[in-house]
Homo-oligomer: A and B are copies of this chain.
Amino acid sequence: MKRIAVLTSGGDAPGMNAAIRAVVRTGLAKGWCMFGVRHGYAGLIAGEIFTLGARDVGGIIQQGGTMLGSARCPEFETVEGRMKALSQLCRHEIEALVVIGGNGSQAGAHALSLLGFPVVGVASTIDNDLYGSDVTIGVDTALNVSLEAIDRLKVTASSHHRAFLVEVMGRTCGYLALMAAIAGGADAVMIPEKETDPEVVATELRVAYDNGKAHAIVVVAEGARYNAEGMALYFQTHRERLGFELRMTRLGHVQRGGAPGSFDRLLGTLLGAAATERLADGKHGELVGLLKGEIAATPLAEVVTNRKTLDLGLLKLARTLAQ
């Protein structure tokens, strides 16, 4: 009988609980003993490892966040930290580990893997900046929360003939911002992958104003050169040119805490189940993700050395549609 542990690491993402549940229940169905690790790598180092039964992961599929908790763990970035983690895994006789998380988490998974411990990663981050999965667990829900906010800002903007700068998350990745802009019918978008001159945005807003639009929305990625604050500052002295009165909103951590929608529940479930199946097939040192609409595994070595690219054709589409 196998003894498998699962942890979540890095920023929490809606759907992580669905993944935990699927890892645990597919493992139990194989007759394995399943364990959870609290607070990510920090808990692993501290030996916060405990058994998980079928009932322990009941009623969590519809909840955001992660029931296992998460934490940043600088100590795990040191050799000493990793050796402590290994010795804890050893002490609890854990035979393999499933790591649910994004870039930093999978780098940790890769490090453990290089030390010879069997690890399978599950792609989960709302930033969608992880190589090895076209879409990661949490993105869809974060996007929906952002859209809900944008829809509401459009309502109040329309009542007052205003333009809103909306800053969405995504670290150095513009995926969330670009998708929120397209799905939110935004007038302009600023992402880190392709710098946009604020003057271009000014012109677009002016044109929208002159065309009689009742409001305008500019979606700004937090990692863009001009983020919402930067843009607000830039336009402070050029206000009259825009036509619209300008307001700024940073959506912040609210984007992270939504209850997972169907997409993230299903993705979490499918990837979690697949991670357990990979282990059952004797595979490890891989990340399980969604590639071209199908569940697929990518070696962790590849994951940590490649950078996911954003389809900039969508940026052009966003502009075409913002008429």
Contacts and interface: CB of A to CB of B under 8 A. Distances in A.
Nearest to A154: B257
Interface residues of A, number: 81
Contacts of A156: 12, 64-65, 253, 256-257
Interface stretch (A80-88, A89-97, A104-112, A285-293): A285-293
A191 interface: no
Most buried by B among A182, A254, A317: A254
A243 interface: no
A115 B69 CA distance: 50
A51 interface: no
A312 interface: no
Contacts of A151: 62, 257
Contact of A152 (B25, B71, B213, B254): B254
Nearest to A8: B159
A46 interface: no
A321 B54 CA distance: 9
23 contacts: A21-B185, A59-B185, A61-B185, A64-B155, A64-B156, A65-B156, A69-B214, A140-B261, A155-B259, A156-B257, A157-B257, A182-B265, A183-B266, A248-B252, A250-B250, A261-B261, A263-B263, A269-B317, A269-B321, A273-B317, A273-B320, A292-B294, A293-B293
Give 3 nearest A-B pairs by CB, closest first: A152-B257, A293-B293, A155-B257
